[in-house]
Structure 1
């Protein structure tokens, strides 16, 4: 009898434990399975961190791209390489000079000294003490770009600072010679390189890392060539550690470089208008406003200028023509503007006319008017 009671109690305990486990699994495990996974949250956060907005990349990069000006008025571009104030550029931009003027994106001017330059590879380094301590651009030191990579070419084409052109790496391992330099295994890019773009960075549009130095443009088509930054790191680092005591003479050829091309006032004026609309498309109203002449600005505050474009979502230039007479130029642009109106989006066409001329040695939009067309 005693054994029977012990057996009954054991059986009840086993059944009770089983029922407890059953209901625990039924009620608790499904809730745990539908709860947010910590691994999923971490992965999502990482993906969001790695995916950088294009405008953010452009905005950050532009701050660290500089215009390099020589005493004879020649212009080029460069970018901040480290926090010592060292700027990387092309050798043909600063050939046969020691002292240059470096102008930042906010129009501040600093004195720079060439501390390294090559006679064979089109690269040089300018030290700018005034930029010491500034955080530099990230450099892709351990990887090369590949065909199809989306890139940004930044610089000061035609002297217009903070200009961005977009494209892809359309070819790799290209070799070419432009006396006295030999370009080996360079990138071919679809982003055009205009006068003054030389020495600016080629940037990965997704990560913001510098992939190369924009160095030469083709006379035919929108093709540029950029030196991979990986291939010249030893040169750059060598000059930074041990600046050249004496700079070698560089015998530049007469063909091949973008800044050697002849441009008319019509070309410059057309570029200025295109840059104006490009700035608006990026939401960079400060730059767009800075392109206006003093007489236009005197009757138009920045706040009113910006307010006039806040409902303009995008502008596409359908046609552009320019005519010049003496020092004055007239540019006529047919544009399509995507605009907000009463809670909806509409597409409107305009004929815009701009009068352009030099003001204090800088080309400016002196006046402009727009006519809505069908």
Structure 2
């Protein structure tokens, strides 16, 4: 390269550097001369996929968990089940309804209806029964896809020893368990740290995180916190096939509920339960469910909008004590003490007086008042 060429290359380099410096200077000036603006930023926090509180998950599940009362030619028994479709079909265990001459279903609202058997497999200990009155009621959500691991937090719902809508909290403590009990074979079932006792059988096993049904509670070991649940993914095809291919015309529904209770005294326990469920519904802000527990005469004088408005400021309500009830005019009359906490107010103890009676053969809260004003 000649001396002239070297000088030319150096001159070009210096010129480019100077031009770059000028460009950067002008860019710097323009940046700081312009007003500063900020666009909104959306951030995403990691979650555990739970969109409801544990109390909400339990409350929503209880709406579709039923107590099943069975009478056979030689005995009576109680089990559990859960609504899984909008045709009024309920999943339970075969051993709950085996040899049944009468099957009755009691809802969380204490309403009781006769049921017919849709299908049953003693080999897998599963069964489906149908209650036409539950057609189009929103069912529980079933999860047949996820793989369940040891340590998964679960809820076991049912009616142990006849205590309706009881909940046990635990974990999946084992998988792929296989054994035989009383002529029933269980293959690759979940072991859970919640005991399954008389009345629990047929109830749903629920994933605490998602609120979805993952199993059917089926067996337990006495005096231990060990239970076993059939994975719903292993039997859903069979129960779905029964439901889809069985019409109501092919089923036998009892025309009346067997040994129907006629005295309000027979409903004492259910009356206490109904009031507790009413308070629980208010506590979870499920005003629609609470309002549905009221009798038609009460509802005709208190519309839902006013009822909801009365409780809209209620943050929490807890039942402290239920006092002794007495029969008045074929109705249970009793008082309960509750602690109410309304927005911008201090917690206070309130006294409610309830009257519970029969309406169209179903138990309802006929009337109630509190010590401040009528609800």
Question: Is TM-score (shorter-chain normalized) higher than 0.5?
Answer: yes
* CA 1:175–1:131: 2 relative to 1, 3 Å: same
2: CA distance between counterparts of 1:319 and 1:172? 39
Equivalent position to 1:138, from 117, 128, 142: 142
**Matched residue pairs, number?**
335
Q: Is the 8 A contact 1:67 1:156 kept in 2?
A: no
Tell me the CA shift for residue 349 of structure 1.
0.7
Q: Does 1:360 align with 2:364?
A: no
Match of 2:213 in 1: 210
Match of 1:80 among 79, 84, 90: 84
Unmatched segments (≥5 aa) in structure 1: 29-34, 244-262
8 Å CA contact 2:178–2:186 kept in 1: the answer is yes
Alignment deviations for residues 189-238 of structure 1 (CA, whole Å, 9 cap, x no partner): 6699896x753433223223212124479998999864432454576578
Kept in 2, the 8 Å contact 1:330–1:355? The answer is yes
Deviations 1:267-299 (A, max 9, x none): 322211111111112222222122223443343
1:189/1:226 contact within 8 Å kept: no
Q: Which runs of 5+ in 2 are unaligned?
A: 32-37, 247-264
Question: Once superposed, what is the RMSD of the aligned Cα atoms?
Answer: 5.6
Partner of 2:232: 229
Does residue 149 of structure 1 match 2:153? yes
**How far 1:315 moved relative to its partner?**
0.8
Question: What is the Cα deviation at residue 80 of structure 1?
Answer: 2.0
Instruction: Identify the residue that residue 340 of structure 2 maps to in structure 1.
Output: 337
C-alpha distance in 1 between matches for 2:297 and 2:244: 49
Instruction: Give the match's secondary structure for 2:299.
Output: helix
Equivalent residue number for residue 261 of structure 2? none
Shift of 1:7: 1.8
Mapped partners of 1:111, 1:357: distance in 2: 20
1:337 Cα offset (Å):
0.9
Measure the CA separation in 2 of the matches of 1:369 and 1:194: 37
Question: Which has more radius of gyration?
Answer: 2
Aligned to 1:124: 127
Alignment of 1:349 with 2:336, yes or no, is no
CA distance in 2, matches of 1:219, 1:345: 48
Alignment correspondent of 2:305:
303
Q: Which residue of 2 aligns with 1:90?
A: 93
Distance 1:141 1:371 in 2: 51
Q: Counterparts of 1:48-197 in structure 2 under 5 Å? A: 50-54=49-53, 76-80=80-84, 87-96=90-99, 114-119=117-122, 121-126=124-129, 137-144=141-148, 146-147=150-151, 149-151=153-155, 153=157, 165=167, 167-169=169-171, 172=174, 179=182, 181=184, 185-188=189-192
Q: 1:264 to 1:142 in 2, by over 3 A?
A: same
Instruction: State TM-score, norm by structure 2.
Output: 0.62
Which residue number in structure 2 is paired with residue 260 of structure 1? Answer: none
Q: Deviations over 1:68-110 (max 9, x none)?
A: 78899988533326x9986532224443469989999999999
